[in-house]
């Protein structure tokens, strides 16, 4: 076995010691650089958004689906048309019934005008007969007939007024029925309730949707957030509305501003995909870090959900964000 001079051995040991010292120093420097200032806590999470179903209110056959998975949609945009053939028949029937009740109302109104004229005439004739009887030039029997005619025409007027009231009520019912059918037809045109992307296309033309059955599932790209999990010692210091920052793993040098919109009142076991600073605390609290709506709207075409990242929260309002979190994306930033 070859022997090495003691001087070379000492020199090699010295180099190894220097390398170890440099490595340890580098790790220490890197750890200090990545460490968060006092008053700021963090947790792993994913960029997420709320989901919205585009669903039928009643069982109807799908006529057209105007979008595909991945398409960007805007509020009020027509996405699905359902077959309304049977509803249109019901609407025609309801409109015909409305027309018939309106005609009945017109007849009742004409009858009232007629009855009022007859009452006026009968009253005049009764008064004339009364004067003739008083002068001895008329018979009591004629006066009685005229008086009876006044009462009869008044009774007929009351009946006509009751018919008019009934006709008006029937018209209101007929109008309501027609409006209901018209609303059902309008509801058969399914529109987007949000700005988002089509996540799932759950039906195809020709299929019959059940009441409440979804035809599409949308990702609401204006309601974007990240959920993180913090141990009790950190979560207890977080307040609703606290300032937050979100970063994505693919672009850690830029951060998204946000705020704490939810702190769970109950602890839960750490999800498998989450790691905390205390090496997977058994019990953690869920926090929701919300992206401002105006910012999400500005970058709606670039937002991708499911991306992993890190969420940061100020538990001390006076704390200063570290340099790595000061490159903030704003609604005025260039979207490129």
Look up residue 252 and give its two tokens. Answer: 């850690």
Q: Do the beta carbons of residue 40 and residue 324 sit within 8 Å?
A: no
CB-CB neighbours of 292 under 10 Å:
16
User: What 3 state SS string does 220-275 have?
Assistant: EEEEEEEEEEEEHHHHCCCCCCCEEEEEECCEEEEEEEEEEEEECCCCEECCCCCC
* 61, 84 Cβ separation under 8 angstroms: no
Per-residue confidence (pLDDT) for residue 218, from 0 to 100: 97
Coil, strand or helix: which one is 99? Answer: helix
Q: Residue 30: what pLDDT?
A: 44
Residue extents of the structural domains in the chain: 38-49+220-325, 85-189
Contacts of 127 (CB under 8 A, 6+ apart): none
Q: Which residue stretches of the chain are H helix?
A: 6-34, 85-135, 140-187, 232-235, 293-298
Angle of helix 85-135 versus helix 140-187 axis, rounded to 10: 170
Mean pLDDT for back-to-back runs of 10 residues, the chain (336 residues): 56 64 50 70 94 94 96 96 92 85 74 70 67 66 64 68 75 87 93 95 94 95 94 91 94 92 87 55 87 91 90 94 90 58
Query: Interior CA angle at 248 toward 243 and 253, to 5°?
Result: 80
pLDDT of residue 279: 47
In CATH, what number does 38-49+220-325 get? 2.40.30.170
Joined tokens for residue 146: 């005229």
pLDDT of 194 reads 95
- Residue 96's pLDDT is 87
User: How many other β-carbons are positioned within 10 Å of the β-carbon of residue 198?
Assistant: 20
Between CA 159 and CA 162 the distance in angstroms is 5
- Residue 64 tokens, joined: 């057209």
Whole-Å CA distances, 95 to 148, 175, 247: 43, 8, 59
Specify whether the CB–CB gap between 195 and 222 falls below 8 A. yes
């Amino acid at each position: 076995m070859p022997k090495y001079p003691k001087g070379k051995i000492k020199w090699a040991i010295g180099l190894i010691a220097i390398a170890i010292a440099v490595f340890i120093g580098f790790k220490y420097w890197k750890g200090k650089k990545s460490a968060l200032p006092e008053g700021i806590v963090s947790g792993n999470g994913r960029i997420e958004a709320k989901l919205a179903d585009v669903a039928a209110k009643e069982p109807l056959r799908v006529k057209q689906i105007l979008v595909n998975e991945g398409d960007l949609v805007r509020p009020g945009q027509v996405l699905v048309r359902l077959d309304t053939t049977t509803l249109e028949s019901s609407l025609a029937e309801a409109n015909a019934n409305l027309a018939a009740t309106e005609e009945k109302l017109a007849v009742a109104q004409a009858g009232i005008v007629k009855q009022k004229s007859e009452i006026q005439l009968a009253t005049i004739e009764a008064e004339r007969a009364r004067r003739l009887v008083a002068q001895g030039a008329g018979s009591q029997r004629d006066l009685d007939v005229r008086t009876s005619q006044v009462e009869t025409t008044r009774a007929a007027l009351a009946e006509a007024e009751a018919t008019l009231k009934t006709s008006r009520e029937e018209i209101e019912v007929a109008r309501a029925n027609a409006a209901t059918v018209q609303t059902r037809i309008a509801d058969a045109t399914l529109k987007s309730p949000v700005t988002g992307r089509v996540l799932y296309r759950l039906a195809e033309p020709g299929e019959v949707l059940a009441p409440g059955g979804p035809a599409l599932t949308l990702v609401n790209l204006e309601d974007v957030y990240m959920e993180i999990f913090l141990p009790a010692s950190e979560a207890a210091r977080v307040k609703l509305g606290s300032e937050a920052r979100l970063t994505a793993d693919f672009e850690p040098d830029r951060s998204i501003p946000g705020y704490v919109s939810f702190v769970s009142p109950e602890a839960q076991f750490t999800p498998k995909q989450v790691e905390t600073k205390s090496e997977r605390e058994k019990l953690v609290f869920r926090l929701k870090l919300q992206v401002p709506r105006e910012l999400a709207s500005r970058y709606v075409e670039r937002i991708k959900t499911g991306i992993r990242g890190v969420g940061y929260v100020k538990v001390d309002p006076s704390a200063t964000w570290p340099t790595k979190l000061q490159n903030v994306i704003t609604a005025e930033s260039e979207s490129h």
